[in-house]
Amino acid sequence: LGCGVGGPARNIVRLAGCNVMGVNNNEYQISRARRHDTKYGMNSKINYTKTDFCNMCFGDNEYDGAYAIEATCHATDKVKCYSEVFRVIKPGSYFVLYEWCITEKYDPNNEEHRRIRHKIELGDSLPDLETKGQVVEALKASGFIVEDSFDVAERFESSPIHNLP
């Protein structure tokens, strides 16, 4: 969901050899993704559809799984969005989600916290950001069993791999 210009889709094809359906509501990004796919010889493995996350044009149980990277945070109704994902993937399939969330440390009474949140929402054209807990509850309300949920930034802090200056 929210395939952008297809970077993660191409990596999945390269690493897993599977077919991928990219979903986006932005025709320009889809056209750029197709150009990149042509450049890398992946046209036969990746297709794209312009559709709304909350009302996808696919049949029930059509896909083996789904993923979204910083995409469903743009949906104003998370339960509707996640319910639609639940509908189009096969029973027992995985939906892997990497998403913008507000941490539990966010204090709505703290002016600096509000300023940072507003800049993130404005800069990324996001509706109100939700906490990880709110996202997990929306996933559960949509029928998903949440097997794991964590803050990637916290795991990266303790990683021996670091960004170079």
Helix (H) / strand (E) element for 23: namely: strand 20-24
Burial (CB count within 10 angstroms: exposed 0-12, middle 13-18, buried 19+), residue 36: middle
Task: Please provide residue 10's backbone torsions phi and psi, each rounded to the nearest 5 degrees.
Answer: -65, -40
- Reported residue count of the chain is 165
Q: What is the pLDDT of residue 161?
A: 58
pLDDT tens column, 131-156: 999 999 999 999 999 999 988 877 77
The CATH class for the domain spanning 57-149 reads: alpha beta
- Average pLDDT on 7-16 reads 95
Match 């097997």 to its residue by tokens. Answer: 147
* Domain locations along the chain: 1-51, 57-149
**pLDDT at residue 165 is higher than 50:** no
Residue 81: name the closest of 91, 71, 90 by CA: 71
Identify the band that residue 103 occupies on the pLDDT scale cut at 50, 70 and 90. confident
Residue 66: name the closest of 50, 80, 82 by CA: 82
Q: State the pTM of this model.
A: 0.87
Tokens of 126: 């996001």
